[in-house]
Amino acid sequence: GTASFASPLFASESTLLPFRRGATLLPLHFNENSLGMSPKALAAGQEAVRIMGNRYADDYCDTLREMLAKQHGVSKSQIVLGNGSTEVINAVVRWLGKSNAVLLEPSPTYSQVSEQFTLAGLDIIQVPTDAKFVTDIAAMRDRAAQIDGPLLINLCNPNNPTGTITPYEILQEWVSSSPSEHVFLIDEAYYDYAAADPAYETALKLIKQQRDNVIVTRTFSKIFGMAGLRMGYGIATEKTAKVVDAHGAGFNLNAAGLAAAIAGLKDESFYQHSLKSNYQAKQILLETLDQLGLEYIPSHTNFVLHRINGPVDIYQQRMKENGILVGRKMTQQDGWNRVSIGVPEQMEAFCKTLKAFREKSWV
Q: Provide the angle, in degrees to the nearest 10, between the axes of the packed helices 112-119 and 85-97.
A: 40
The binder of ligand PLP chosen from 137, 194, 227, 262 (CB under 6 A): 227
31 binds ligand PLP (CB under 6 A): yes
**Separation CA 221–CA 232 (nearest Å):** 7
Distance of CA 192 to the CA centre of its chain: 10
List, in order, residues 6 or more apart from 134 with CB less than 8 Å away.
Answer: 162, 164, 166
Give the Cα separation of 258 and 265 in Å (integer).
Answer: 11
Of residues 228 and 310, the one with the C-beta less far from ligand PLP: 228
Cβ partners under 8 Å of residue 323, min gap 6: 24, 25, 26, 353
Smallest gap, in angstroms, from Cβ of residue 30 to ligand PLP? 6
Whether 277 and 302 have beta carbons less than 8 Å apart is answered as no
Amino acid at residue number 208 = K
Residue in 189, 206, 305, 341 binding ligand PLP, rule: CB under 6 A:
189
x-or-dash string of contact with ligand PLP, 75-114, rule CB under 6 A: ---------xxx-----------------------x----
Q: Is 192 in the site for ligand PLP (CB under 6 A)?
A: no
**Closest to ligand PLP by CB, 85 or 346:** 85
Q: Tell me how far, at minimum, the Cβ of 233 lies from ligand PLP, in Å.
A: 9
Nearer CB in complex with ligand PLP: 152/189: 189
Rama region for 250: left / alpha / beta (φ>0; ψ in -120 to 50; rest): left
Report in angstroms how near the CB of residue 146 gets to ligand PLP at its nearest: 26
Least distance to ligand PLP from the beta carbon of 157, Å? 9
Among 221, 274, 277, 340, binds ligand PLP (CB under 6 A): 221
CB 265 within 8 A of CB 328: no
Cβ at position 303, least distance to ligand PLP in Å: 9
Residues touching ligand PLP, count (CB under 6 A): 13
Query: How far, in Å, CA of 107 to CA of 331, rounded?
Result: 8
Cα(224)–Cα(191) distance, rounded to whole angstroms?
A: 12
Candidates 11, 152, 155, 156: give the one binding ligand PLP (CB under 6 A).
156
Q: Does 254 bind ligand PLP (CB under 6 A)?
A: no
Where do contacts with ligand PLP occur on this chain (CB under 6 A)? 31, 84-86, 110, 156, 160, 187, 189, 219, 221, 227, 232
